[in-house]
Amino acid sequence: MTDGQSFYFILVVFYLMECVKFAPPGSQALVCHLGKFGACSLRQPVTTAWGLKKSVFLAPLLPWPSALYLAPGYAPEQTPATTIARVSSIRHHQRFLRKATQPLRALAVLNLLNFFALLPAVYVRTYDERSILWTLAYCYASLIATAIHYHRLHRRLLPREQADRFKTTLYTALLPWHAPRAADLILLKGSLRWSPLAALAANAKNPAILKQLQYHWRAAHFHPKPRFPQAALATAFREAGLDPSDWLAKPKELDGPQYCPCCHSGYEKQATRCSDCDGVELQPA
Ligand SMILES: [Zn+2]
């Protein structure tokens, strides 16, 4: 391996490490494709970092056009006072975050192209020390411009997090693998204020999320310890324009003589309770 290849190998490894995101335990991630909120796809954690008590997610590998948000895993009684609880407020907040981070995401793409395309191209094509040094100076100038913009944006959106701002601005100015992911921090921190239930309801156009909301609705009726109370679910559904009136009906396709009214799994005759839903009583098909 040449020096250049080793340098890029390390750059890629560090960049991939930047794509790993930590969130409070029990969180789910929402991946917004092409800036379209409302039909975000769900992303489950790849693992749990037990030592840190965090769920670990893998963000989309490019800083644009997809974006990662979080539906935090708070229990209703732990929900902080700053939570954005209404579906319409979450939609509004997401639009605000997307708009505010647009220039930062454009700079992210520029930094990615500078370090992963322009610099190696100049190196391979010219082998000229002077040209390489000028390109490197330009690449670092764009990093510093990104850091200045990031600092201003962070101060506007997260005014109280001064320690975090100082650290991440420094990383953005100095580390070519960090700068392309600088916008992630703001989007993730911003979305951690969303109520998990309302964030899911705002994205009910996605079939997997709709299925999960239907499960929570049945759990609120049949499960001994549902994650969300019935009243909170009803409010979120009303706000999102969802009608749950037929969500408690029998599943259309049954794969056993009995079924669990909560998760809709089929069971044989000998079983009496669902093994996945804390012993919910089975119903005849
Ligand atoms: Zn079940």
214 and 168 within one domain? no
According to the model, what pLDDT value does residue 75 have?
A: 63
On the question of a cis peptide bond just before residue 65, with omega within 30 degrees of 0, the verdict is yes
Q: Per the domain annotation, does 52 fall within a domain?
A: yes
According to the model, what pLDDT value does residue 59 have?
A: 94
Question: How much distance in Å is there from the Cα of 49 to the middle of ligand 1?
Answer: 28
According to the model, what pLDDT value does residue 82 have?
A: 83
Question: How much distance in Å is there from the Cα of 200 to the middle of ligand 1?
Answer: 21
Q: Per the domain annotation, does 183 fall within a domain?
A: yes
Question: How much distance in Å is there from the Cα of 280 to the middle of ligand 1?
Answer: 6
253 and 140 within one domain? no
Question: How much distance in Å is there from the Cα of 285 to the middle of ligand 1?
Answer: 14
Look at the pTM and tell me if it is higher than 0.85: yes
According to the model, what pLDDT value does residue 76 have?
A: 60
- Per run of 10 residues, the mean pLDDT along the chain (length 285 residues) is 84 95 91 83 89 89 91 71 89 94 95 94 89 95 97 94 94 95 93 92 94 95 91 95 92 85 90 88 87
| CA atoms of 27 and 53, how far apart (whole Å) | 12
Query: Which residues constitute the domain of residue 65?
Result: 3-196
According to the model, what pLDDT value does residue 77 have?
A: 62
Question: How much distance in Å is there from the Cα of 218 to the middle of ligand 1?
Answer: 10
Question: How much distance in Å is there from the Cα of 55 to the middle of ligand 1?
Answer: 24
According to the model, what pLDDT value does residue 48 have?
A: 87
219 and 118 within one domain? no
| CA atoms of 103 and 96, how far apart (whole Å) | 13
Question: How much distance in Å is there from the Cα of 245 to the middle of ligand 1?
Answer: 20
Among residues 149, 166, 196, the one where a domain terminates is 196
141 and 69 within one domain? yes
Question: How much distance in Å is there from the Cα of 121 to the middle of ligand 1?
Answer: 56
